[in-house]
Amino acid sequence: MTGMKRTTEKNLMLFSGRAHCELAAEVAELLGTGLVATSARDFANGEIYVRFTESVRGCDAFVMQSHSEPINQWIMEQLIMVDALKRASAKRITVVTPFYGYARQDKKHKGREPISARLIADLFRTAGADRMMAVDLHSGQIQGFFDGPVDHLFALPVLAEYVTRKYDGEQMTVVSPDAGRVRVADQWTDRLGCPLAIIHKRRDPNVGNQVSVQEVIGDVRGRVCLLIDDMIDTAGTITKAAEALTVAGAAGVVCAVTHAVLSGPAVDRLKNSEIAEVIVTNTLPLSDERRFDKLTELSIAPLISRAIREVFEDGSVTSLFDGNA
């Protein structure tokens, strides 16, 4: 008598925290699947409760949560979701963070500072994550903080496709707002076939986050300048860079940024700036109060859904960017 062999089929299951349900729903629709029904609530003292309402045993789980404001709450919720999946016997758990929290604290600038980006990676690994996926990390070294595979997705193809469609590349110069973004800016110039300029800036250590722009390196006179960056937070850097470009004779300024954090005075600064259009993706949720006429929001969902499909089918995430980034 021969024993019967039990066959199991891989099962993709997509989960979403409460930070950015709209993006998760769009990704689910593109994948042709539904979001797993989840019961999530806050206790009176702020503690978070999460329970999935169907079996997740043996599944390939993808847990989406963008680390938006209130950032600590949403990181904790995602950690709890990962823990719940691990204890419910999910086969593999991939943490999907379109915006990875604490990414700017990726090294020690001064003594006695934390490396919080590493701490976040350690927390997810301890909770039970096998893999991580993020869009435009503040620095590539963060990939090495997680003890496991990290899929680093790039928004450049999404943003560049829009820019190419709307603007004349022959009249454009790509501008890096500081020395740290030059490598990414160089990828933009390859994509658009236009020259590169750099803003040399210096932060005033006595005035918190404020930036003093020093000079424009490169020829921008009479050209439309495309400022690129990974995020706009308070918009101090980007608006001062736009001022410097205008003074240097730029015909116009447009900016393309992946993450629209838009904290504090950001919206007012951008509204009143020299920037004609602010192009962002929807890695972070945007409330109505943070939307304004100059803002163009592009969806990152097609990119994330394709990456999830490649991971699930043991394909190549890198192939999504061959020749693009």
Q: How many CB atoms lie within 10 A of CB 185?
A: 21
Residue type for position 47: E
- d(CA 92, CA 86) in angstroms, rounded, equals 8
CB 209 within 8 A of CB 236: yes
Distance CA 297, CA 262 (A): 13
Instruction: Give the pLDDT confidence score for residue 107 in this predicted structure.
Output: 95
- Residue 151: phi and psi, rounded to 5, are -95, 110
Domains of the chain by start residue, with CATH: 12-154+302-320 (3.40.50.2020), 156-298 (3.40.50.2020)
* pLDDT for position 323: 58
Choose the catalytic residue: 5, 10, 107, 201: 201
pLDDT tens readout for residues 167-222:
998 999 999 998 889 999 999 999 999 999 999 876 666 655 565 656 899 999 99
d(Cα 257, Cα 30) in Å, to the nearest integer? Answer: 24
Beta bridge partners of 199: 216
What's the alpha-carbon Rg for the chain, to the nearest Å? 21
> Which pLDDT belongs to residue 180?
85
pLDDT in tens, the chain (325 residues): 444 444 456 899 999 999 999 999 999 999 999 999 999 999 999 999 999 999 999 999 999 999 999 999 999 999 999 999 999 999 999 999 999 999 999 999 999 999 999 999 999 999 999 999 999 999 999 999 999 999 999 999 999 999 999 999 899 999 999 888 999 999 999 999 999 999 987 666 665 556 565 689 999 999 999 999 999 999 999 999 999 999 999 999 999 999 999 999 999 999 999 999 999 999 999 999 999 999 999 999 999 999 999 999 999 999 998 754 4
CA angle 248–251–255, rounded 5-degree value: 90
* C-alpha span between 243 and 266 (Å, rounded): 15
Confirm whether 201 is a catalytic residue. Answer: yes
| Residue range 133-178, pLDDT digits in tens | 999 999 999 999 999 999 999 999 999 999 999 999 899 999 999 8
Is residue 169 within 8 A of residue 196, CB to CB? The reply is: no
In Å, the largest CA–CA distance within the chain is 86
How many other C-beta atoms lie within 10 A of the C-beta of residue 72?
A: 11
Give the predicted TM-score (pTM) of the model.
0.92
